[in-house]
Structure 1
Amino acid sequence: MPRSPFRHRWTTVHGVPTHDLHTAGPGGLPVVLVHGLAVSHRYLMPTARALATRHPVVVPDLPGFGRSGKPRFAYDVSRHAEHLAGWLDVLGLPRVCLAGHSFGAEVVARLAVLRPDLAAGIVLAAPTADPAARSRRALIGRWALDLFVEQPWQAPVLARDVADAKPWRVLATVGHSVRNAIERDLRRLPVPPLVLGGALDPVAPLRWRAEVAAMTGGVAVTVPHAAHNVMTTSGRRSADAIAAYLRTVAPVRAAAAVSP
């Protein structure tokens, strides 16, 4: 089996050990993949591996999730965005493509508004939370529907991630998600985003993704046969869409290597 190009790293930011997997790739604009609210870097690796042949890729675990440190309370959208900004500053990555999935798209949108200097490109994959389902009950109900259209082989990965985070943190983060009006950030994004999603996604449905693209001036790409976890089950197609989007972004030379 070929050796993985990805390496583990822990960086202490605001007192929290922050884990990431990273690879230097062939050069070009680094892509930072940000996970959703019940998961970790693990489920994003199909897209990360497919993208790493074309760009440097960094996949962090947000505080409280995966292998990162576990604060005593669940961070809200702003706290996660501020943490990622500090993390990118410590790593010396001043210009990146910020690519967030689900709740991670909320974090990426807030980060791009707080620190537009960091955002050379923005990818919003299956962004939450659709205003038509902006309550805990409605959002959890949509996730329940998504279970019927997802690939069952994902279950062990997702179960491990929820166990790492603890159910109380997941539920608290759901509350932070539904209280966050993402459209306020979407209207202030510094660059038009790629809005990516699966054709079968009931959590961030096509109608909502089209609204996001319209209000941001972005481009929407729909992956056939994929559901909410499009970056897990359709890693190659997701990576192709991100790489194509980045070819439309003004080229920027990475100011620092991704490797430590």
Structure 2
Amino acid sequence: METVIDGQPYQLTLMSEINVAREGGMSEGAALQASVIDTEDYRSIWMYLKEVAVRQGFVDIEVNGARVRTRYAEAGSPDKPHAMLLHGTGGHWETFAPNLAALSEHFHCVAIDMVGNGFSAKPDYDYEIPVYVEHVLGVMDHFGIQRANFVGMSLGAWVAATIAVSQPDRVSKVILMSPAGKEAAAANMARIRAERTKAVNEPTWESLHAVFAHLIADEANRLPDLIGLRQAIYRRDDTRETIDHLLILQDAAARDRNLIPEQDWKAIAAPVMVVASGRDHGVYQETATSIAKLIPQAEVFEMPNVRHWPHFEDPELFNPAAVAFLSK
């Protein structure tokens, strides 16, 4: 469909036209190369943030001997209880865009791009769990946060659980989504390494869309500007140069030495809400089930229709449950 803006013609590709293209034999990736505008129900991560007082910035944090320029987003009054929001592998703070409005009404939220991820600095060393833990604690120290709630997904859940084990005095409550850190699944690790390496080496819309197909179940929730942000990250020289550092936890030996032992899961004293995503990859569903049985004060929150990003895929279900749990 052609439209005219300031006297210039522009071609808009509607969702209906994408569907027609698919039915006509065009590959999904080719169809998605165009900018997609759903004129019936336009959605963007910024629609979630339009009325939220989000303060984005950068701060230097010392991590493993290097100064790491750290990108963060802050929302909510610092006088409220604190909440640290931790993304997954290769992620960035916008992962939590649909949650900041609801959470910041009750909590002082700090979402970060963890070291080696997003638009934060990517120093020349491997990003293993102790490195992430040091980074998160350093950010907390910078903001004067002695104790916080943690909301972590995938890698972020692994980091949050490790902090709950090693620094219990700094943890109030924890929400673990699509949790990692209990076991190593060779097939899943190989898939992640292959997908992410391809996407970094060939940061096309199609390769990035393939990554998000494993993260978000419903095509309608794979928002173009979300994919565009990840594409911008993967096009960066520092991302390409440090991809092996980022993916170190997909190597069997490295993963094994970073896993949380069963006795440590049992030693977590903080109350924990484990989110069980019904359409996630099997290893994450199995981990959610098993750690919920190990953690003394754990409860399970079922989200049957989501994949790896439950908080992003269904914020209407997740947000009130998260607020209720963290407010107990």
Same fold by TM-score greater than 0.5: yes
User: Counterpart of 1:238?
Assistant: 318
Paired residue type of 2:268: L
Do structure 1's residue 10 and structure 2's residue 58 form an aligned pair?
yes
**TM-score using structure 2 length:** 0.67
Residues 208 and 172 from structure 1, CA distance in 2 versus in 1: closer, same or farther, beyond 3 angstroms? Answer: closer
User: Counterpart of 1:53?
Assistant: 105
User: Counterpart of 1:149?
Assistant: 217
Q: Say which of 248, 257, 273 aligns to 1:172.
A: 248
Deviations 1:111-159 (A, max 9, x none): 222211110111111101453x533x33344887836835333533443
Paired residue type of 1:196: V
Q: Say which of 171, 187, 193 aligns to 2:272.
A: 193
- TM-fit CA distance, 1:163: 4.0
Distance 1:58 1:203 in 2: 30
The 5 A counterparts of 1:59-138 are 59-129=111-181, 131=183, 133-135=184-186, 137-138=187-188
SS in 1 for 2:116: coil
Residues 27 and 140 from structure 1, CA distance in 2 versus in 1: closer, same or farther, beyond 3 angstroms? Answer: farther
Q: How many percent identity over aligned positions?
A: 22
Distance 2:275 2:149 in 1: 14
* Structure 2, unaligned runs of 5 or more: 1-46, 196-210
* Structure 1, unaligned runs of 5 or more: 249-260
Q: Say which of 29, 34, 49 aligns to 2:86.
A: 34
Residues 127 and 30 from structure 1, CA distance in 2 versus in 1: closer, same or farther, beyond 3 angstroms? Answer: same
- Larger displacement relative to structure 2 (229-238 or 63-72): 229-238
**TM-score using structure 1 length:** 0.82
User: Counterpart of 2:39?
Assistant: none
Q: Say which of 194, 200, 206 aligns to 2:285.
A: 206
Deviations 1:4-39 (A, max 9, x none): 411112222112122210012495321111011121
Distance 1:24 1:114 in 2: 27
SS in 2 for 1:182: coil
Larger radius of gyration: 2
Task: Quote the RMSD (CA, aligned, Å).
Answer: 2.6
SS in 1 for 2:327: helix
Aligned length: 246
Distance 1:115 1:147 in 2: 30
SS in 2 for 1:11: strand
Distance 1:156 1:119 in 2: 34
Deviations 1:165-184 (A, max 9, x none): 43434422433446532344
